[in-house]
Structures are given as structure tokens and as C-alpha cells.
Amino acid sequence: MYIVESYSIAVILTVITMLCWGSWANTQKLAAKTWRFELFYWDYVLGIVLLSLILGHSLGSTGAQGMGFADSLHQADWSSTSSALAGGVIFNLANILIVAAIAIAGMSVAFPVGIGIALVLGVIINYIASPQGDALLLFGGVSLVGLAIVIDALAYRKKAAQAKKVPAKGIILSVIGGVLMALFYRFVASSMATNPVSPEAGKLTPYAAVFIFSIGVLISNFLINTILMRRPVEGGPVTYSQYFKGTLKEHLTGISGGMIWCIGMSLSILAANKAGFAISYGLGQGATLIAALWGVFIWKEFKNSPKWVNTLLTMMFLLFVAGLSLIILAGS
């Protein structure tokens, strides 16, 4: 299987992760014109499973080093398998809760609370479990990225210019979603062999871990998304018959979104071999920067905004670049 053998390659992969995690939501934005999120999400999950299989049978099954994808699945013990499955269930719940929080409380509240908690707590958890890199540089970089997320949210709030009270339900969902999002990566990491070249018996290769993670997402979706379809946070209930009436374009859009996200997840897990799980996860969560770039330059979300809003955006971009640079230096 393909194994990352240098820190510089690992950094490149985490940057691609950042691009993927910050870009997949564009597919949902495109689909939202005709397709409910709950229906889109089924295809998104299928895309995650499909891409994990493609990578497993390609990069995960070629080369002389390590253990092949199929062999890794066959020899995995229940402890490793259940850990990767749990990671998928936790991620799925976290993802849907944060989306629901955005619908209730708005981007300016849900995003900094949910993603901010996920970033800071996730890096702390992964660093404690597997300390790798300069802690001062790592957490200094994480602090700057966290501040950038807050400023980004402030710019969204000022743009909206709405002085309405934020529902407590939205904040609670953001907090729960953020904590769960911080936890899922550690469960997947715990299922993996510490040495991919000579993996321990019962442990998973990165490719097998991501595949089992995706199965956890899929299985849990039958409960989590079914509940969301029947009791949506916005709009009326939707049914499975509506899903099967979707056009090929609508289904492919959702599948593409899931595949884009899973490319990021797979590369992040692969990069962790050299970068460490804390750095790999922290850089990946810099996806907020990419999402903001899409919003500003492609979707024109800040068009005709006051000059001082543009000043906030400039500060946000500079803090992001500085923070991500420190995180990269932490592992060099």
C-alpha cells in the first residue's frame, strides 16, 4: 500500500485535506436549489463509502510495503473495528448537529462555537494521545486559527445586520456537535497500527480504518437521518419516495460531495503517519479558510458589504495563514 514517507509530503496531503473539507459543502449549496439537505445527505454518505472503497482497492492494495486492504480487514480484531465504526457514528451525529445548529442559530453563532470547539479540543485530545511536534508552536497556531474563525463569524453577523436573539437550542446543538466532532478522529486513529510498514496484529491500515469508519457513517445514517427526515429543523418532513424520485444530477451532486470529503479524510489519516494526528487534524480543520474563500470570491456572500467588514475578512485571512504556518512549523 502507499505510505507517506516524509513530513513535506504529509503537509501537502493535509493542505489537500483542507481544500476538500472546505469545498465539499459547495455541492450541497448547488443541490439546495432543488434538493432538500436530508435527501442530499444520503448521497453524501454513499459518496464517502464509495471513495473509501476506491482508495482501498487502489492505493491501499498496491506496492510492496505494509498490509493490503483486504488482508487488513480480514485480520482486524473487534476492538479496532468497533473503534473505527464508533468514529463514523460520532462524526455523522456531529455533522448533522452542526448543520442543524446553523439552520437554527445561523452561521455566525453555530460555526465559531461548533468548529471552534472541534478544532481546539480535537487537537488537545489527539496531542495527549499521541504527542508529536512542538506543543508551543502547535497550540499557538491553533489559537490563531480559532481567533480567525471568530472574526469570520463576526463578519457574517455584521453582514446579516440582524439583532435578533439567538435561540438557546442552536447554541446547545453547536456545543454538542463541536465536542463530538473533536472526538471522532481519535476513535479512527486508535483503530490503526502505529507502524503502517509492519502493522500490529488486529490493527487496521489507514485505508481499512477509513472504510470501516464510512460503514459506521452509513449504518448510523439509517437512524440519525431518518429522524431528521421526519422531524426536520427547517421545512416539512421528507420521505424516502422523494429520494428515489431525484434526478441523476441531484444524486451525483451529493455523491460528489461525499467523495470530496472522504478524499480529505483519507489523506489526513495517511499524513498522520509523519505529521502526527494532532497536526494532521489541526491543519485539516483549517478548512474554514477555504470555505470563507469560496464564500467571498465565488459565491459573493460579502458583495457590497461595508468597508470595515472587508477589514475583518482581511484580518481573518491573515490570522489563518499565520496560524496554519505555525502548525506546519510545529512538526518540522
Q: Which residue has the higher pLDDT, 302 or 189?
A: 189
User: Are the CB atoms for 106 and 170 separated by under 8 Å?
Assistant: yes
73 occurs within a structural domain: yes
Where is average pLDDT lowest: 70-74, 154-158, 176-180?
A: 154-158
Q: What is the pLDDT of residue 170?
A: 82
- Cα separation, 164 vs 41, in Å, equals 29
Q: What is the pLDDT of residue 107?
A: 66
Task: Say if residue 164's pLDDT is above 60.
Answer: no
- Cα separation, 138 vs 48, in Å, equals 29
Q: What is the pLDDT of residue 226?
A: 96
pLDDT digits (tens, 9 = 90+) for 89-146: 999 999 999 888 877 876 667 777 888 899 999 999 999 999 999 999 999 999 999 9
Q: Which residue has the higher pLDDT, 329 or 101?
A: 329
- Cα separation, 302 vs 313, in Å, equals 9
Where is average pLDDT lowest: 27-36, 141-150, 262-271, 291-300?
A: 291-300
Count the neighbouring beta carbons within 10 Å of the beta carbon of residue 241.
7
Per the structure block, which three cell numbers stand in for 221? Answer: 445514517
Q: Which band of pLDDT confidence, cut at 50, 70 and 90, is reported for residue 29?
A: confident
Q: Which domain holds residue 21?
A: 7-330
pLDDT digits (tens, 9 = 90+) for 292-312: 888 888 888 778 778 888 899
pLDDT digits (tens, 9 = 90+) for 207-259: 999 999 999 999 999 999 999 999 998 889 999 999 999 999 999 999 999 99
What is the rounded average pLDDT of the residues 12-19?
Answer: 96
- Cα separation, 295 vs 309, in Å, equals 14
Task: Say if residue 206's pLDDT is above 50.
Answer: yes
56 occurs within a structural domain: yes
Task: Say if residue 184's pLDDT is above 50.
Answer: yes
37 occurs within a structural domain: yes
Q: Which band of pLDDT confidence, cut at 50, 70 and 90, is reported for residue 163?
A: very low
Q: Which residue has the higher pLDDT, 151 or 160?
A: 151
- How wide is the angle at C-alpha 284 spanned by C-alphas 146 and 134, nearest 5°? 70
What is the rounded average pLDDT of the residues 260-275?
Answer: 96
**Which residue is listed with cell 432538500?**
36
129 occurs within a structural domain: yes
Q: What is the pLDDT of residue 299?
A: 83
1 occurs within a structural domain: no
Indicate the average pLDDT of the chain. 92
Per the structure, how many domains does the chain have? 1
115 occurs within a structural domain: yes
Q: If DSSP codes are grouped into helix, strand and coil, which group holds residue 56?
A: helix
Q: What is the pLDDT of residue 32?
A: 86
Can you give the pTM of this predicted structure?
Answer: 0.93
- Cα separation, 245 vs 200, in Å, equals 47
Residue spans of alpha helices (H) in the chain: 7-23, 25-31, 37-57, 69-75, 78-105, 107-129, 135-160, 168-190, 206-230, 240-244, 248-275, 277-284, 287-293, 307-330
2 occurs within a structural domain: no
130 occurs within a structural domain: yes
